Amino acid sequence: MLDFLRSLFHREDARPAPLPAPPASTSRPEPPPKQPPAPAASPPVAAFIGREAVLDRHESVVGYRFFLSPQTQRRLRDKAPSLRLAYEAGLISSLAAHTGAQGPLGGRLAFIELSPGSLHHPLLPELLHDTTCLMLLASNGANDPASADSLCELQKKARLGCVLNRNDTDSTLLAASSVVSLSIPQLDGLEIADYARRLRRDSAHKSLMAADIESRDDFEMCFRSGFDYFHGPYFAQAINHHAPRTQVDLNRVLRILGQLRAGASGTELATSICQDPVITLKLLRYINAAANGLTQHVVSIEQALLLLGRDRFYRWLSLLLFDVQKRSYVEQVLTEQALSRGRLLERLGQRCGLAASEQDELFLTGLFSLLDRLLAQPLADILQQADLPVAVRMALLQGHGHHAPLLTLARAVEENDEAALEHHAQSSQLDAETVNQEHIAALIWANELLSA
């Protein structure tokens, strides 16, 4: 994890560079041959993207599900099929903008819910990767079912899955799918077990996904029934959660953060750090990483602090609060959520034209906003020890101040609350496309950080 921290302090301009103007031509171009008019296509619609962590049977976060928000899907239920495809075009465009050589999530699985009609979108090939699973909606009434030939071609480039309801009978789609998702609240326990048994009997190689899990009982029932993947609101809740085990003395980290904010000298800070061998080891390992380009090996804590600077050290030290060993799914979800939330706030602050110092404060606002749930301590106690800037404390404890609107916006992104998203995005002069782009970029950053 620490080898990747060098990227924490490097800001990139999220805005694409303008395209160069075409060179002037001195000769008159030949008129292009006449072509038959192309059929009218619905323009992409920038709707807010929903996301949800997906766990495996080891209760590890293996990827994320991407989908149109529930509010958008309800609005589209009785609308023309072309309108849904226009919204899905916006989802595809947002994901394609950040897809690299390792796929949409940089090596993590991306389960993308689409209608079969969206398989013809021109940007879809950019998403196709062995870490991508296109989860096709079996019976949404949006368009004709995909043909067996088109599904066969897609199978060569990406995983295929399907999202089934209780009465779906699309045998072509089911046969082509390697992942089958079933909404659990629609079924009782006997139906869940029977459905899993029938799918296993008909095709043993298929992975089963238990969708929309709302309780521990649902999860345990699906686990016993042999499901491979799980997602739903239950996993975002820290129920009966205890503070995680960690090699780092979290209280000492908070005290050092407080010393930093109070203006302690380098000698005082070095004395506090040296009292914890784990923090000392991690700091020297980080400062001596090859990526830092040092010509001499650093063995002095005071020298390391001098090279890093107080602001960078504060940020590095804050991240040690999330250096949890053997995370349960609760710690995994909360850690990734806190890191991606902090990065999202920082990037949105950049989009809003805020100063670098304010962007740093926004990062800390997002990072600390979930620490009470992760550490099972009152947030006020944590913030008192860390002595965070006033604007950060106001946003976290009182819900107002300069950083509160963007924090509320980030929470709405995670909760897929479209009404709150629209309201707070407009108040910050941000549009859905911008929020989607930064949301995905922040999630990729957090995943890369944790996998480094």
Contact of 232 with 211, CB cutoff 8 Å: yes
How far is it, in rounded angstroms, from Cα 372 to Cα 374?
Answer: 6
| pLDDT tens figures, 280-310 | 878 887 887 755 667 777 778 888 888 888 8
| Distance, C-alpha 286 to centroid of its chain | 25
| pLDDT tens figures, 343-394 | 999 999 999 999 988 998 999 899 889 888 887 888 888 888 777 888 999 9
Residue 132 bridge partners (DSSP)? 110
SS3 helix, strand, coil % of the chain, rounded to 5? 55, 10, 35
The rounded radius of gyration (Å) of the Cα atoms in the chain is 24
- The SS3 call for residue 30 is coil
Q: What angle do CA 31, 35, 37 make, to 5 degrees?
A: 125
Which amino acid, residue 344? L
**Strands 159-164 and 207-211, sheet pairing:** unpaired
49-236: which CATH topology? TIM Barrel (3.20.20)
Q: How many CB atoms lie within 10 A of CB 57?
A: 12
CA atoms within 13 A on the CB side of 22: 3
Contact of 53 with 61, CB cutoff 8 Å: yes
Contact of 361 with 389, CB cutoff 8 Å: yes
Structure tokens at 377: 């301590």
Contact of 429 with 5, CB cutoff 8 Å: no
| Distance, C-alpha 429 to centroid of its chain | 22
Contact of 343 with 437, CB cutoff 8 Å: no
pLDDT, residue 447, reads 85
pLDDT, residue 12, reads 42
pLDDT, residue 280, reads 81
Nearest to 300 by CA among 276, 270, 260: 270
pLDDT, residue 208, reads 93
Interacting residues of 175 by C-beta distance below 8 A, sequence separation 6+: 148, 203
C-alpha dihedral sign at 394, 400, 401, 405: positive
pTM above 0.75, yes or no: yes
pLDDT, residue 195, reads 84
Helices (H) and strands (E) in the chain, counts: 20, 8
What residue spans define the domains of the chain?
Answer: 49-236, 246-321, 324-451
Residue ranges for the chain with pLDDT beneath 50: 1-41, 140-142
